[in-house]
Amino acid sequence: MKQFLLLIAAIAMVFSRIFAQTATPPSGSGTSANPYLIASLENLYWVTQNASSWSKYFKQTANIDASNSSGWASGSGFSPIGNAGTAFTGTYDGNHYTISNLYINRPSTNYVGMFGNSTTATIKNLGLVNVNITGNLQVGGLIGSLGGSATITNCYTTGSVAGDSLVGGLVGLISNSTGSITNCYSTATVTGSGQFIGGFVGKMDNISSTTVNSCYSTGNVSGTT
């Protein structure tokens, strides 16, 4: 009996280590000259938990495996950076590294993606590999909702993205935007149960001078319109 209890305790310790959500503050100060350096999943989790940093500068310094995010928040996974109340307005430079196996399962939540809501931001040089993302409205592999003068450059997504409406492989909704998307692509499978489902962008709405250059998608898309 004692050995059995020890075995159960050991298994519990293993799983707690696998799925533990540890917020480790990144080095740096978040300025243009001294950006926050994102070197691990723990650093990335810190960003999700510190909305006051969402207007700062970030630079990724290594490939990050986000597989453990599937066990976070009782199965809801990664919490998007930026939401309806507070958009991400900073700069995230992926530095040509990748984040793989990012998991989000929030079917009742709007503004879902690695970046849920982003305005006047710069996101560049980042690859999201084998994402598994589910949301409700405004769901994208990289960004759920994009607006303002945001610029997205040299980014891509692979994996699967699903939601109700306004669902895209890279961006769910581009609205009220004067920004640009350049040299980006998505090969993600995109599924929607409602309207405005796209392989690259779900919908572009009320845009004045937004430009999309040298971008494409090759993933399968299924939805209504």
What is residue 16's predicted lDDT score, i.e. its pLDDT?
43
Nearest-angstrom CA–CA distance, 131 and 16: 23
What is residue 9's predicted lDDT score, i.e. its pLDDT?
45
Instruction: Give the global pTM.
Output: 0.90
Residue 18 clears pLDDT 90, i.e. is over it: no
What is residue 111's predicted lDDT score, i.e. its pLDDT?
99
Q: Are 142 and 123 in contact (CB under 8 A)?
A: yes
Longest dimension (CA), the chain: 70
What is residue 15's predicted lDDT score, i.e. its pLDDT?
46
Q: Which CATH architecture has domain 2-222?
A: 3 Solenoid (2.160)
Q: Give 27-81 pLDDT, tens digit per residue.
A: 999 999 999 999 999 999 999 999 999 999 999 999 999 999 999 999 999 999 9
Q: Are 187 and 219 in contact (CB under 8 A)?
A: yes
Q: Give 99-132 pLDDT, tens digit per residue.
A: 999 999 999 999 999 999 999 999 999 999 999 9
What is residue 165's predicted lDDT score, i.e. its pLDDT?
98
Distance in angstroms between the alpha carbons of the first and the last residue of the chain? 60
Q: Are 153 and 184 in contact (CB under 8 A)?
A: yes
Q: Confidence band (pLDDT; 50, 70, 90) for 11?
A: very low
Q: Confidence band (pLDDT; 50, 70, 90) for 223?
A: confident
What is residue 217's predicted lDDT score, i.e. its pLDDT?
98
**Torsion on CA atoms 86, 87, 91, 96, rounded to nearest 10:** 120
Q: Where are the domains positioned within the chain? A: 2-222
Nearest-angstrom CA–CA distance, 12 and 91: 38
**Torsion on CA atoms 46, 51, 55, 60, rounded to nearest 10:** 20
